[in-house]
Protein backbone atom coordinates (compact mmCIF):
# COMPACT_ATOMS: atom_id res chain seq x y z
CA UNK A 1 0.00 0.00 0.00
CA UNK A 2 1.31 3.44 -0.82
CA UNK A 3 1.86 6.08 1.84
CA UNK A 4 -1.21 7.95 0.58
CA UNK A 5 -3.27 4.75 0.72
CA UNK A 6 -2.06 3.95 4.23
CA UNK A 7 -2.82 7.49 5.33
CA UNK A 8 -6.31 7.29 3.86
CA UNK A 9 -6.91 3.98 5.62
CA UNK A 10 -5.64 5.48 8.88
CA UNK A 11 -7.96 8.47 8.46
CA UNK A 12 -10.94 6.17 7.90
CA UNK A 13 -10.12 4.07 10.95
CA UNK A 14 -9.70 7.25 12.98
CA UNK A 15 -13.18 8.29 11.88
CA UNK A 16 -14.55 4.87 12.87
CA UNK A 17 -12.95 5.28 16.31
CA UNK A 18 -14.41 8.79 16.65
CA UNK A 19 -17.91 7.64 15.68
CA UNK A 20 -17.66 4.63 18.00
CA UNK A 21 -16.81 7.00 20.84
CA UNK A 22 -19.87 9.13 20.03
CA UNK A 23 -22.10 6.04 20.06
CA UNK A 24 -20.56 4.86 23.34
CA UNK A 25 -21.22 8.31 24.81
CA UNK A 26 -24.89 8.14 23.77
CA UNK A 27 -25.23 4.65 25.24
CA UNK A 28 -23.67 5.79 28.51
CA UNK A 29 -25.94 8.84 28.59
CA UNK A 30 -28.99 6.63 28.02
CA UNK A 31 -27.94 4.38 30.90
CA UNK A 32 -27.36 7.31 33.23
CA UNK A 33 -30.71 8.91 32.43
CA UNK A 34 -32.56 5.60 32.63
CA UNK A 35 -33.58 5.53 28.98
CA UNK A 36 -33.47 2.42 26.86
CA UNK A 37 -30.55 1.80 24.57
CA UNK A 38 -31.61 1.45 20.95
CA UNK A 39 -30.40 -1.95 19.74
CA UNK A 40 -29.16 -0.36 16.51
CA UNK A 41 -26.76 1.84 18.46
CA UNK A 42 -25.34 -1.06 20.43
CA UNK A 43 -25.00 -3.17 17.29
CA UNK A 44 -23.21 -0.28 15.54
CA UNK A 45 -20.81 0.04 18.49
CA UNK A 46 -20.03 -3.68 18.45
CA UNK A 47 -19.52 -3.64 14.67
CA UNK A 48 -17.16 -0.67 14.94
CA UNK A 49 -15.24 -2.35 17.76
CA UNK A 50 -14.88 -5.51 15.69
CA UNK A 51 -13.57 -3.53 12.72
CA UNK A 52 -11.06 -1.67 14.86
CA UNK A 53 -9.93 -4.91 16.49
CA UNK A 54 -9.51 -6.63 13.11
CA UNK A 55 -7.36 -3.72 11.91
CA UNK A 56 -5.24 -3.69 15.07
CA UNK A 57 -6.49 -0.28 16.17
CA UNK A 58 -6.87 0.15 19.94
CA UNK A 59 -10.34 0.99 21.13
CA UNK A 60 -11.00 4.44 22.51
CA UNK A 61 -11.29 4.26 26.33
CA UNK A 62 -15.03 5.03 26.41
CA UNK A 63 -15.76 2.32 23.84
CA UNK A 64 -13.79 -0.18 25.91
CA UNK A 65 -15.60 0.86 29.09
CA UNK A 66 -19.09 0.54 27.56
CA UNK A 67 -18.30 -2.85 26.00
CA UNK A 68 -16.70 -4.10 29.22
CA UNK A 69 -19.83 -3.15 31.17
CA UNK A 70 -22.01 -4.81 28.53
CA UNK A 71 -19.92 -7.97 28.84
CA UNK A 72 -20.41 -7.96 32.61
CA UNK A 73 -24.16 -7.51 32.21
CA UNK A 74 -24.28 -10.34 29.67
CA UNK A 75 -22.50 -12.57 32.19
CA UNK A 76 -24.98 -11.64 34.89
CA UNK A 77 -27.92 -12.18 32.55
CA UNK A 78 -26.63 -15.61 31.53
CA UNK A 79 -26.40 -16.57 35.21
CA UNK A 80 -30.14 -15.92 35.57
CA UNK A 81 -31.95 -17.99 32.95
CA UNK A 82 -34.94 -16.30 31.38
CA UNK A 83 -37.84 -17.76 29.53
CA UNK A 84 -37.35 -16.80 25.91
CA UNK A 85 -39.80 -17.43 23.13
CA UNK A 86 -37.65 -19.28 20.57
CA UNK A 87 -39.71 -17.89 17.69
CA UNK A 88 -38.66 -14.33 18.59
CA UNK A 89 -35.01 -14.97 19.35
CA UNK A 90 -32.39 -14.18 16.71
CA UNK A 91 -29.98 -16.94 17.67
CA UNK A 92 -27.35 -16.07 15.07
CA UNK A 93 -26.98 -12.45 16.11
CA UNK A 94 -27.22 -13.27 19.81
CA UNK A 95 -24.66 -16.05 19.56
CA UNK A 96 -22.23 -13.80 17.68
CA UNK A 97 -22.66 -10.97 20.15
CA UNK A 98 -22.26 -13.34 23.10
CA UNK A 99 -19.01 -14.73 21.65
CA UNK A 100 -17.69 -11.22 21.02
CA UNK A 101 -18.56 -9.94 24.49
CA UNK A 102 -17.26 -13.06 26.24
CA UNK A 103 -13.75 -11.67 25.84
CA UNK A 104 -14.57 -8.85 28.26
CA UNK A 105 -15.64 -11.05 31.15
CA UNK A 106 -12.18 -11.81 32.43
CA UNK A 107 -10.42 -8.49 31.88
For 47-57, b/e burial (b = at least 16 CB within 10 A) is ebbeebeeeeb
Q: Tell me the C-alpha to C-alpha distance, in Å, between residue 67 and each of 29, 30, 100.
A: 14, 14, 10
pTM score, whole prediction: 0.68
Instruction: Give the distance from CA 66 to its chain's centroid.
Output: 8
For residues 16 and 102, the model is more confident at 16
Q: What is the pLDDT of residue 1?
A: 55
pLDDT value for 95: 61
Give the start-to-end residue ranges of the domains of the chain. Answer: 3-102
d(CA 61, CA 105): 17
d(CA 40, CA 42): 6
Residue-wise pLDDT for 34-91, tens only, equals 998 889 999 999 999 999 999 999 999 999 999 998 888 777 777 665 555 555 455 5
Q: Across residues 87-103, what is the average pLDDT?
A: 59
Amino acid sequence: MTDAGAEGQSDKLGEVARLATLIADRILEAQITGHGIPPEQFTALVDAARLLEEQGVPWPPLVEEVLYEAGKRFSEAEAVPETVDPEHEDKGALAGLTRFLSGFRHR
